[in-house]
C-alpha cells in the first residue's frame, strides 16, 4: 500500500471489501462496463461541467481493492437518458448556476432509483455552493442537507479518515448528505474535492480545497457501491 497522510490508513481488510462487493446487488454493480465501475461527469445548466476534478481516485480504488474501474470520467448530459448507464456521478464547477426543470426532474429520479451523486464546489467556490444548496432545496423540499459526522462509515470504507481540512485556509471541512429512506443518495462538500494536484492542467488559482480529496473520494465511491 502506498504512503499516505498520517490521517489516512487502511480501514478494512481487502477480503472484507471484496465480500461486501460480492454480496451487493445494487444498481451500482449491475450497470458497469465489462465489469468495471464507471463514473459520469455531469454536464448541467445547459453547458456547465467540471474540467478540473481529478479522476485519479478511480485508479486508486482499483489499486487498493482490486475492484475494476473505468479510469476516466464520461461526460454525460444531466437531462439525457444516458445518465442511467452510470451508477455514480460527479457534479462540480465554479460560479452560480440554475438547473433547468428537466434537469431537476432527472436528477431526482436518478438518485431515487439507484444512482449516487457526489457534488463539490470547485476550489470551494461560494457562488457554486449557494446555487447547489438552492437546487437541493427545490429538488428535495422535504429533505435537508445534513452534516455527515466523522464517525460515519463513509469515512472508513477503504481509508480511515480521522480529520478533514482544507489546503489553504486550513479550516475543518465536513461532508453533507441528502438521505432518503435511510440511504445516502447525495454527498456534497462545500470545500473542493477536486484534487487539482492530480488533475491535468488545473489549479485552484488561489482558491481552497480539501487536501486529501483523493482518499475521501475513494471512500465515497466505495460506500456508494455497497450501501
Residue 33 banded pLDDT, cuts 50, 70, 90: low
- Indicate the SS3 state at residue 177: strand
Could you tell me how far CA 42 lies from the centroid of its own chain? Answer: 12
- Residue 218: partners with Cβ closer than 8 Å, 6 or more residues away: 57, 60, 61, 64, 157, 158, 159
Write down the pLDDT at residue 25: 34
Helices (H), 4-89: 14-23, 27-30, 56-65
Write down the pLDDT at residue 66: 78
Write down the pLDDT at residue 134: 98
Is it the case that residue 13 has pLDDT exceeding 70?
no
Answer with the residue of higher pLDDT: 89 or 38: 89
Is it the case that residue 12 has pLDDT exceeding 50?
no
The sheet that has 146-147: what strands, in order across it?
74-77, 39-43, 88-93, 116-121, 183-189, 176-180, 146-147
**Strand-pair partners of 42:** 76
Class of residue 151 by CB neighbours under 10 A (exposed 0-12, middle 13-18, buried 19+): exposed
Write down the pLDDT at residue 221: 94
Residue 211 banded pLDDT, cuts 50, 70, 90: confident
Write down the pLDDT at residue 188: 98
In order of their start, the domains of the chain are 14-226 (3.40.50.12140)
Residue 166 banded pLDDT, cuts 50, 70, 90: confident
Where b means 16+ CB within 10 Å and e means fewer, 3-37 reads: eeeeebeebbeeeebeeebeeeeeebbebbeeeeb
Write down the pLDDT at residue 34: 60
Q: What are phi and psi of 154, to 5 degrees?
A: -65, -20
Class of residue 139 by CB neighbours under 10 A (exposed 0-12, middle 13-18, buried 19+): middle
| DSSP per-residue string spanning 133-160 | HHHHHHH-TT---EE--TTSGGGSSSB-
Answer with the residue of higher pLDDT: 26 or 171: 171
Looking at every residue in the chain, the average pLDDT score rounds to 83
Across the range 118-147, mean pLDDT stands at 95
Write down the pLDDT at residue 31: 43
Cell numbers for 82, please give them: 444516458
Across the range 205-214, mean pLDDT stands at 82
**Strand-pair partners of 88:** 39, 116
- Indicate the SS3 state at residue 86: coil
| DSSP per-residue string spanning 117-134 | EEEEEGGG-HHHHHHHHH
52-109: pLDDT as tens digits = 888 889 989 988 887 888 889 999 999 999 999 999 999 999 999 999 999 999 999 9
Across the range 204-224, mean pLDDT stands at 87
Amino acid at each position: 500500500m502506498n504512503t499516505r497522510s498520517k490521517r489516512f490508513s487502511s480501514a478494512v481488510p481487502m477480503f472484507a471489501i471484496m465480500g461486501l462487493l460480492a454480496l451487493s446487488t445494487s444498481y451500482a454493480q449491475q450497470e458497469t462496463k465489462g465489469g468495471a465501475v464507471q463514473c459520469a461527469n455531469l454536464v448541467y445548466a445547459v453547458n456547465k461541467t467540471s474540467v478540473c476534478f481529478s479522476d485519479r481516485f478511480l485508479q486508486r480504488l482499483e489499486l487498493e481493492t482490486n475492484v475494476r474501474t473505468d479510469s476516466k470520467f464520461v461526460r454525460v448530459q444531466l437531462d439525457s437518458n444516458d445518465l442511467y448507464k452510470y451508477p455514480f456521478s460527479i457534479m462540480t464547477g465554479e460560479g452560480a448556476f440554475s438547473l433547468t426543470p428537466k434537469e431537476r426532474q432527472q436528477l431526482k429520479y436518478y438518485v431515487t432509483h439507484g444512482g449516487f451523486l457526489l457534488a463539490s464546489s470547485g476550489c470551494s467556490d461560494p457562488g457554486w455552493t449557494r446555487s447547489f444548496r438552492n437546487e437541493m432545496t427545490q429538488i428535495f423540499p422535504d429533505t435537508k442537507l445534513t452534516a455527515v459526522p466523522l464517525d460515519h462509515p463513509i469515512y472508513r470504507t477503504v481509508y480511515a479518515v480521522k480529520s478533514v481540512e482544507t489546503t489553504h485556509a486550513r479550516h475543518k471541512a465536513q461532508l453533507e448528505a441528502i438521505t432518503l429512506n435511510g440511504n445516502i443518495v447525495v454527498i456534497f462538500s462545500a470545500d473542493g474535492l477536486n484534487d487539482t494536484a492530480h488533475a491535468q492542467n488545473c489549479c485552484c488559482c488561489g482558491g481552497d480545497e480539501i487536501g486529501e480529496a483523493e482518499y475521501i473520494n475513494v471512500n465515497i465511491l466505495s460506500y456508494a457501491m455497497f450501501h
